[in-house]
């Protein structure tokens, strides 16, 4: 055999090339040849590692979700309180730097692309479901059984995830500055988890 190559690493490199193209030139510019060129190889090499374009696409989506998951768990590790953890998790999902903007664009593209492709849609769905349940648990802990905001923890969690999703989309589209999005997120976190809640009734 030749130079013994790490299969997983090569696949990851190609997935990264795909993400760069999707983020910079749009999803329709993603082709085997372009991905190869972006990675400095030929389309034949891409074919060697992915049996079809669909397989390449699926793998890229998995990479991007794994990356987001890794950043999220890293952020959790640094948090001291539940509220800090929730905030760290949510801000880890916002496109606040170039790397996350690229990932955000890729995820957005996949959201549209997954129409009529159940396997891809399922990956995205599981992601949302997991986050929803995680936040619901954390919110329930903070609320400690009391529910003075007129909603269930799961509803609050669903709203929080949706809020961040929407803020992310708007920041990506440069509808407003990321500082505004962060301020809005903080205000809503304060509303849900802050002291003011204990003063309400």
Piece of 34-42, 88-96, 98-106, 176-184 that binds DNA (CB under 7 A):
34-42
Nearer to DNA, 3 or 199 (CB): 3
Interface positions, 15-74, toward a second copy (CB under 8 A): 23-28
| Burial (CB count within 10 angstroms: exposed 0-12, middle 13-18, buried 19+), residue 70 | exposed
Interface positions, 102-141, toward a second copy (CB under 8 A): 105, 108-109, 111-117, 121, 124-125, 128-129, 132
Among 74, 53, 65, 78, CA closest to 104: 65
CB atoms within 10 A of CB 150: 8
- Return the exposure string of 28-48: e unless at least 16 CB atoms fall within 10 Å of the residue's CB, then b: eebebebbbebbebeeebbee
Is 147 a binder of DNA (CB under 7 A)?
no
Is 167 a binder of a second copy (CB under 8 A)?
yes
Distance CA 51, CA 23 (A): 23
Q: Are 150 and 94 in contact (CB under 8 A)?
A: no
Distance CA 40, CA 43 (A): 10
Among 116, 7, 113, 4, CA closest to 64: 113
Is 169 a binder of a second copy (CB under 8 A)?
yes
Piece of 6-14, 36-44, 57-65, 174-182 that binds a second copy (CB under 8 A):
174-182
Choose which of 42, 55, 162, 179 interacts with a second copy (CB under 8 A): 162
Alpha-carbon Rg for the chain in angstroms: 20
Choose which of 24, 26, 33, 128 interacts with DNA (CB under 7 A): 33
Interface positions, 38-77, toward DNA (CB under 7 A): 41-45, 47-49, 51-54
Is 184 a binder of a second copy (CB under 8 A)?
yes
By the criterion CB under 8 A, which residues form the site for a second copy?
23-28, 105, 108-109, 111-117, 121, 124-125, 128-129, 132, 149-151, 155-156, 158-159, 161-167, 169-170, 172-176, 180-181, 183-184, 187-188, 190-191, 194, 196, 199-201
């Amino acid at each position: 055999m030749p130079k013994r190559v790490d299969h997983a690493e090569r696949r990851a490199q190609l997935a990264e090339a795909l993400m760069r193209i999707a983020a910079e030139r749009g999803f329709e510019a993603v082709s085997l040849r372009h991905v190869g060129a972006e990675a400095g190889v030929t389309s034949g090499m891409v074919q060697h590692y992915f049996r079809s374009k669909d397989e390449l696409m699926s793998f890229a989506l998995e990479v991007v979700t794994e990356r987001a998951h890794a950043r999220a768990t890293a952020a959790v590790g640094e948090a001291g309180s539940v509220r800090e953890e929730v905030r760290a998790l949510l801000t880890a999902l916002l496109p606040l730097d170039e790397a996350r903007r690229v990932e955000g664009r890729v995820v957005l593209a996949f959201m549209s692309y997954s129409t009529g492709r159940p396997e891809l849609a399922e990956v995205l769905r599981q992601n949302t479901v997991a986050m929803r349940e995680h936040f619901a648990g954390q919110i329930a802990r903070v609320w400690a059984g009391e529910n003075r905001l007129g909603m269930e923890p799961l509803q609050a969690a669903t709203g929080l995830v949706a809020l961040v999703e929407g803020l992310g989309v708007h920041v990506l589209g440069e509808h407003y500055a990321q500082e505004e999005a962060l301020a809005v997120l903080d205000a809503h976190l304060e509303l849900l988890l802050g002291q003011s809640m204990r003063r309400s009734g």
